[in-house]
Amino acid sequence: MYFHVDLDAFFASAEELDHPEYRGRPIIVGAAPGRRGVVSTCSYAARGFGVHSAMPINEAYRLCPQGVFLPVRMERYLGLSRQVFDTFNNFTPDVYGVSIDEAFLDMRGTEALFGPAPEAAKKLKAAVRERTGLTISVGVAENKLLAKLASAKSKPDGLLVVELGTETAFMDSLPLTKLWGAGEATQARLRALNVRSVRELRECTLDFLQASLGQASGLFLYQASRGIDPGIHSEDTPTRSRSTERTFEYDVSNAESLCSVLLEMSEELMFSLFKEELYARTVCVKIRYGDFSTVSARVTLDHTVASIKELYAVGERLFREKRLAEAPVRLLGLGLSGLRADKVEQGELFPQGDGRAERLERAVFGLKKSGRAELKIARTLKPPQGENDDD
DNA sequence: TCTGGGGTCCTAGGACCC
DNA sequence: TCTGGGGTCCTAGGACCC
């Protein structure tokens, strides 16, 4: 028996908690209106105006100019999230966090302590509310897919149990558009196939779905329509990639400026790998142009990337090879994938340097971590506020 | 109103090996 | 004169999720 637990409009609720004067008003957490960015989370009052997550912030402003627009305060939300997860841990040792505001709880064997599932769920809701003042929605079912869909259906401040034997009926109660894993593209393809409900989806053969939508998607939808969990969240999967990207306030054409950003991102990524003692061989650069078209280039080395210096050199090469000359760039991203816990050394045939850069950078990282000094690569320093950088 | 950032997984085609 | 079959690794792009 799984619980899926989801905090209601988490970031917006957190702001409401800290600013009681905003209670009940349309709260929109995300980018600042007038700038490039999207809505991260909005309150139910804001949803009444048609605002929703991932909507461009300027569109949200147009729909709801009277809204309370607030920036994301991730530190604060992380603190609250920890308290909520602490509470989960008082109910079961088997808590699988999916994101900052969402978790699965394996509640098998807890009946003696907390009673049957509906009672346990009520106790959990009360405990979270008492500890943090936040409301959660809980879905209870025999598998994660059903539990997840149940909590979503029950929102906000909801509780929904999918009883054994009612799985198919529950699936049929959902609009096809609410099916987890079937986004905009799949919805359009299903419409083209004349499939308009979960029931109609279930009437399709596996062969038909796989021929129409691909092996994996076909099997996924075939199982999901029957209330079978295709494996929506496997436990304990190690991190496979790390990346960072920046969307610029205005498109940037100057290659030197773009390369400075690459260097900044190289530093950020390598420090994060140093910190977690991870290694990677594959470097990926992502470029989004002013027209939103997006390309990427990647390369897998025969050894793990050792230093900021090396990551930057590889990233810059990929960038210069891939970028259309002078085309304005809206977004630049850098990533590392194939993460692993062990190092792959340089081949002996073409050794690159003697590891000096790596030793230096790890020493700098050590200083930074201990709080004894903050060292930055000069080129990544920002010019002082109010001065232009013409010279 | 233009469309964030950090992830995971899948697909198709090519290179290469046996 | 037409060119197998299976497997692995890699790249680029896409779909999807929170």
Nucleotides of chain C touched by protein CB (<7 A): 9-18
Give the pLDDT confidence score for residue A375 in this predicted structure: 76
A183 touches strand C (CB under 7 A): yes
- Smallest CA-to-CA distance from A51 within A30, A22, A21, A76 is with A30
Give the distance, in angstroms, between residue A213 CA and nucleotide B13 C1': 19
A254 touches strand C (CB under 7 A): no
In angstroms, the CA A40 to CA A71 distance is 9
Residue nearest to nucleotide C11 (CA to C1'): A298
Give the distance, in angstroms, between residue A287 CA and nucleotide B16 C1': 30
Residue nearest to nucleotide B9 (CA to C1'): A216
In angstroms, the CA A234 to CA A96 distance is 9
Element (H, E) at A288: strand A282-289
A185 nearest nt, CA–C1': C15
A73 touches strand C (CB under 7 A): no
A231 nearest nt, CA–C1': B9
Given the residues A15, A16, A102, A361, select the one marked as catalytic: A102
Give the distance, in angstroms, between residue A353 CA and nucleotide C15 C1': 41
Give the pLDDT confidence score for residue A354 in this predicted structure: 67
A237 nearest nt, CA–C1': B8
A276 touches strand B (CB under 7 A): no
* Among chain A residues 319-348, those with CB within 7 Å of any atom of strand C: 338
What φ, ψ does residue A95 adopt, rounded to 5°? -110, 125
A186 nearest nt, CA–C1': C15
A245 touches strand B (CB under 7 A): yes
In angstroms, the CA A110 to CA A123 distance is 12
* A62 contact partners, CB below 8 Å, separation of at least 6: none
pLDDT one digit per residue (tens) for chain A, 391 residues: 999 999 999 999 999 999 999 999 999 999 999 999 999 999 999 999 999 999 999 999 999 999 999 999 999 999 999 999 999 999 999 999 999 999 999 999 999 999 999 999 999 999 999 999 999 999 999 999 999 999 999 999 999 999 999 999 999 999 999 999 999 999 999 999 999 999 999 999 999 999 999 999 999 999 999 999 999 998 878 999 999 999 999 999 999 999 999 999 999 999 999 999 999 999 999 999 999 999 999 999 999 999 999 999 999 999 999 999 999 999 999 999 999 999 988 765 545 566 888 888 888 888 888 877 777 787 877 766 544 444 3
Determine whether A102 is an active site residue: yes
In angstroms, the CA A124 to CA A58 distance is 38
Query: H/E/C letters for each residue in A185-246?
Result: HHHHHHHHCCCCCHHHHHCCCHHHHHHHHCHHHHHHHHHHCCCCCCCCCCCCCCCCEEEEEE
- Smallest CA-to-CA distance from A1 within A131, A115, A125, A168 is with A115
pTM for the complete prediction? 0.91
* Among chain A residues 34-63, those with CB within 7 Å of any atom of strand C: 54
Nucleotides of chain B touched by protein CB (<7 A): 1-12
A187 touches strand C (CB under 7 A): yes
Strands of A111-177, DSSP E:
136-141, 159-161
